[in-house]
Structure 1
Amino acid sequence: MKKLLPLLAAYAVSFSAYTDISPSDNVKLALNMYSNQRARQVGDLVTVTVEESNSSKKTEDFATAKTAKADADMPFFGFQIQDATNIFQRFRNSLITDAEQNIPIAEYKINASSSFSGDGSTNSLDQITSEFACRVVDVLENGILVIRGDRKLLYKNETVSLVITGLIRSRDIDNLNKISSKRVADAHIYYETGGELSRGTRPGYVWRVFQVLNPF
């Protein structure tokens, strides 16, 4: 009997503690035990796997040509205006010699041409691969989650800043609480580097200004 009393006392204490748990606490306990821990409310964290790549290729060819030509030949000025009005007739008479010979006028020719041709091509390939946690900052009325994540790394005087914002659906999150950036709607991904290496590979201000002013 003496051994049974401690067991009854322990059972009574555990039963009273269980009865103190509210129904809402029971729901939370069940969710924590059986759910897959996907982000679903403000403050929850979700891991975003950033796998973005962009490639572009552009080629342009341009050519233009223009030619203009004008010829005139007036060897006998008098013959050309013999049927003209009196004004031109008097002008003709002033140019005729005593021997009634017409004054020859020199012929002229104009030839002009212009041409331009140019070509250019560009190739670019950008790729970002990263994985970091984002925080749910808002939940819309339809259940869409608004997320935002910031990451900044400093390595050997080089800084790397990565910011991502967007909208995700809870059902797109896998069992490991991860989601691909390809499933982020209205995604804004900012990737920026800075430091001595970045400055060394970037053209200077004078060169960039010259490129803007260069007409060719």
Structure 2
Amino acid sequence: MLPLVLTGCASLQEPTQDDPNYAPLVPEPAPRPVMQSGSLFAQNHSNSLYSDNKARHEGDIITVLLVERTQASKKAKTETKKDSSTSFDPIVGLNGGPVSVGGNVLQFGAGAKSDYKGDSKADQSNSLTGDISVNVLRVQSNGNLVIRGEKWLTLNTGKEYIRLTGVIRAEDVDVNNTVESTKIANARIEYSGTGAHHGGQSPGWLSRFFSGPLWPF
């Protein structure tokens, strides 16, 4: 009963909104330095003549363009065949002739034949397009940006969400402050949903137990 209880408890845990693991980073207010007045030039807010508005600090927002496409194909074929036969000479009687019963000569023989054929084929393709805006969680010492964020959509009685974490290079962020998902290192992209529609697409916990590796038969 222990595997049944553990499997049932695991099925009750559904993702929720405002997960602290995907919460946006709110920068702590820094003490304001004393600025010299009397000039239109502000050193803290100045940009280079050739700079842009790309995100480069903690708490900044970056838009990730989801362009994920994967395709896999696998095919295997196996054939084995084996034939074997063994025969013995007829049994010889006391008179030197073969022993017979009812006119049939007693002779022993054995034969075996095995034939096996196996064929398997698997094709899988996935596609995910869209966009999601995330926060810069941390700026690494080499200038790479750790990003994290989520998006929730409420559709009728169900909810759909996208969660994303990873590391990007600041050079890969274009002038529109966007970056493609294929340029995210250690990307973790999760797209799923909750509610009645999503729950109806998956089997119950008892069915998963009988079809899982813990079922001994």
> Is TM more than 0.5 here?
yes
The letter of the residue matching 1:37 is N
Separation of aligned partners in 2, 1:21 and 1:134: 38
Bigger radius of gyration, 1 or 2?
1
Deviation at 1:187, TM superposition (A): 1.3
Q: d(CA) in 2 for partners of 1:101 and 1:183?
A: 89
Q: Counterpart in 1 of 2:61?
A: 45
2:170 equivalent to 1:170: yes
Partner of 2:184: 184
Separation in structure 1 between the aligned mates of residue 88 and residue 58 of structure 2, nearest angstrom: 87
Contact 2:90 2:98 in 1 (8 A): no
Output aligned runs, 1:2-13, within 5 Å.
none
**1:199 deviation in Å?**
3.6
Give the 5 Å matches for 1:75-86: 75-76=91-92
For 1:48, the aligned partner's letter is: V
CA distance in 1, matches of 2:211, 2:126: 27
Deviation at 1:103, TM superposition (A): 8.1
TM-score (norm 1): 0.68
Question: Compared with structure 1, are the counterparts of its residues 103 and 124 closer, same or farther at alpha carbon in structure 2 (3 Å cutoff)?
Answer: closer
Residue 71 of structure 2, aligned match among 55, 65, 72: 55
Q: Quick one: distance in 2 between partners of 1:152 and 1:145?
A: 23
1:64 is paired with a residue of what secondary structure?
strand
State the distance in 1 between where 2:145 and 2:172 align. Answer: 11
Residues 211/203 of structure 1: CA separation in 2 closer, same or farther (3 Å cut) = same
Aligned residues: 176
Deviation at 1:204, TM superposition (A): 5.2
State the Cα distance separating 1:147 from its structure 2 match: 0.6
Provide Cα deviations, 1:101-156, integer angstroms capped at 9, x if missing partner: 78838321111111121222222221111211111111111111111111222212
Q: Give the Cα–Cα distance (whole angstroms) in 1 for the partners of residues 76 and 63 of structure 2.
A: 42
1:135 aligns with 2:135: yes
Contact 2:54 2:174 in 1 (8 A): yes
Q: CA deviation at 1:181?
A: 0.8
Q: 1:211 to 1:148 in 2, by over 3 A?
A: closer
SS of equivalent residue, structure 2 residue 190: strand
Residue number in structure 1 paired with 2:202: 202
Match of 2:161, as an amino acid?
Answer: S
User: CA separation of 1:71/1:101 partners in 2, compared to 1, >3 Å: closer, same or farther?
Assistant: closer
Deviation sequence 1:85-114 (CA, Å, 0-9, x none): xxxxxxxxxxx6xxx778838321111111
Cα distance change of structure 1 residues 69 and 19 upon mapping to structure 2, 3 Å threshold: same
Deviation of the 1:188 alpha carbon: 1.4
DSSP-derived class of the 1:182 partner: helix
- Whole-Å separation in 2 of the counterparts to 1:157 and 1:32: 50
Structure 2 vs 1, CA of residues 214 and 109 (structure 1 numbering), >3 Å: closer, same or farther? farther
Q: Percent identity?
A: 26
Normalising to structure 2: TM-score of the pair? 0.68
1:131 corresponds to which letter in structure 2?
D
Aligned alpha-carbon RMSD (Å): 3.2
Summarize the Cα distance change of 1:204–1:111 in structure 2 as closer, same or farther, 3 Å threshold.
farther
Note closer, same or farther for the CA distance 1:19–1:202 as it changes in structure 2 (3 Å cut).
Answer: closer
CA distance in 1, matches of 2:61, 2:69: 25
Secondary structure at 1:197 match in 2: helix
Counting helix residues as a fraction of each chain, which structure ranks higher?
1
